[in-house]
Amino acid sequence: MQKAWIIFAIGLLALVSVTDGDAAATKAAEKAAPRPNIVVILADDAGLMDFGAYGGEAHTPNIDALTARGAMFTQFRASPLCSPSRAMLLTGMDNHLTGFATIPEVLPSEQRGKPGYSMALEPGVLTLADRLRGIGYRTLMVGKWHLGEKAEAMPQAHGFDRSFALAASGADNWEKRPYIPYYKDAPWYEDGVEADLPDDFYSSKFVVDKMIDYLRTTDKSKPFFAYLPFQAIHIPVQAPAGVIAKYKGRYDAGWDVLRRERQRRAEALGLVPPGAAMADLPPGYRHWTDLSAEDRVLYAARMEVQAAMLETMDRNVGRLIAHLKASGQYDNTIFVFASDNGPEPSRGDDNHLLRAWHRLVGYHVGLNGMGGRRSWGFIGPEWAAATATPGAWFKFYATEGGVRVPLVIAGPGIAATRIDTPAMMTDIAPTLLEWIGAPIGDAAKGARPITGRSLLPVLTGKATSTYAKDEVRVIEVSGNTALYKGDFKITRSVLPLGDGRWRLFDVASDPGESTNLAIARPQLLTAMVAEYDAYAARMGVLAMPEGYDSAAQTTWNNISHMLENYPWLYGVMAGMVMLTGAVVWRLFKALRRSFRRTAA
């Protein structure tokens, strides 16, 4: 009996020793290879070719260096507007399932508050921050949020440990000021509490300053997820004067020349096939020679500011990278860089409402001091179309210029490569989750499912494409729609530039969407429209009101919010109505007296 106990004890000690050894080995392995950090950088309104690595004019060495050591995607698609893209990026879900089918600024009253159109992340929608915090990451965000307008909808309610977030679609880059009448102020929140900005605020600098502060002051024993959605290059386009001066004269030849230059570079870089036709121009497009000499100087300067704003963003990305290198975290960090949609076409000099509001709040659109404080910079539709090259049109529309944007992914284990197969904004979240070994399935009760696909097999060379050849991919925002299937795409655009009709393109050979195949291939068009209808029913897409015009809706929404923000305007309007009535009444009386004298 004693001998048996001795044998049992020896066996138990051996088991404990093996178990302890396994546990120690596991801990050692975890220590040797901790989960990678994640940095997601989002540019605002940057086109496919705006950065140096993609053929742009701006000096962007830091983003170019990430591109050179990682995967450069050439067939990546976002949505044509910011909130839907941001929701897709952070959740991996189709925008209609998140609550951001569109953005509040263009939302018609008929859709307000409907499922998918609530303009808030809806119940069951989990963000990357929710998921990563649940597995031990510290989750940090600084920059433009635009996924909810109230304090309780800010990032702290969606998985972020620390955040300094702009609730609005944009704001001034130099101070705490709104940029359109829709907003009364610039709603910045730190951890859900309204916050002020520092005296030396410039948006791109601040985003990195605050992120570095969060990285230094949060729990360094945990890996981090850092989300940096910059304001660059959203309107108002603003940049430091010293950087603007570097681009003096670069755009003096005008937008027609820039379109041709970028088309040639796109061909040289393989972004379009040799001999591909130039993209169609938007209706109402002005040629550079149509402008007066004075206006050409003004518009060339606007592009100089935009290039400087891109470079300034890149400089600050470089500061973040330098911090990560100095702290020994760079080599174990995944970087994702993308843009939320194509270039912004809005003008600030052709809208009476905006011009009146500029006078009210002290903005100017002139040459003197352009890009500095109180300058409301913009590039307008012609430069937007030129910078969207080789795609057609720009932001708001699901044409290639509105949705084909840059995507770069770099990190441990990823070789320098170029990926020419499809990728969607919804694919980023599942890619990151699979990369770090986190569950992509929805363990949380009531969580809505991820609809995107992991790009990791393509990144690691285990697959050539995430999508099968004839697999359907769909984008829809406020009636502007695209459906891709193989080499073909159908697209539909609404007013003010579109006519609501479906068009069919072979985007493999015609990425500029210059030749409509709807009449030549009617059966293919019909089949693809049917596939879109099935998607719309599945995702809860609402039809647009008859005659919907996104520009007119934006103006109306701005007017209604402006009256809410400045209630004294009701008195001004009432006074104007009374004055007009008095003038009309006096004119009527004078005419009546004149008529009586004539009759007599």
Question: Which residues sit opposite 480 in a β-bridge?
Answer: 477
Specify the DSSP class assigned to residue 182: T
**What distance in Å separates the CA atoms of residue 254 and residue 295, rounded to the nearest whole number?**
11
The answer to whether residue 82 is catalytic is yes
Write a three-state SS string for 50-116: CCHHHCCCCCCHHHHHHHHHCEEECCEECCCCHHHHHHHHHHCCCHHHHCCCCCHHHCCCCCCCCCC
Q: What angle in degrees, to the nearest 10, is found between the helix axes of 352-361 and 550-565?
A: 30
- Asked if 466 and 457 touch (Cβ cutoff 8 Å), the reply is yes
**What distance in Å separates the CA atoms of residue 96 and residue 111, rounded to the nearest whole number?**
12
**What distance in Å separates the CA atoms of residue 113 and residue 480, rounded to the nearest whole number?**
20
**Terminal C-alpha separation, the chain:** 142
Active-site hit among 59, 146, 158, 358: 146
User: Phi/psi class of residue 226: alpha, beta or left (left: φ > 0; alpha: ψ in -120 to 50)?
Assistant: beta
Instruction: Using alpha carbons only, give the angle 272, 40, 321 rounded to the nearest 5 degrees.
Output: 100
Task: Give the list of residues 6+ apart from residue 156 with CB closer than 8 angstroms, or none.
Answer: 163, 191, 192
- Asked if 147 and 86 touch (Cβ cutoff 8 Å), the reply is yes
**What distance in Å separates the CA atoms of residue 383 and residue 117, rounded to the nearest whole number?**
31
Instruction: Annotate 292-323 with DSSP letters as a single string.
Output: -HHHHHHHHHHHHHHHHHHHHHHHHHHHHHHH
Question: Which residues sit opposite 423 in a β-bridge?
Answer: 76
Instruction: Using alpha carbons only, give the angle 504, 267, 76 rounded to the nearest 5 degrees.
Output: 55
Active-site hit among 82, 96, 234, 358: 82
**What distance in Å separates the CA atoms of residue 476 and residue 483, rounded to the nearest whole number?**
9
DSSP, collapsed to helix, strand or coil, labels residue 382 as: helix
Instruction: Give the closest residue to 298 by CA, choosing from 288, 285, 283.
Output: 288
One-letter amino acid for residue 419 of the chain: I
The answer to whether residue 146 is catalytic is yes
* Residues catalogued as catalytic: 82, 146
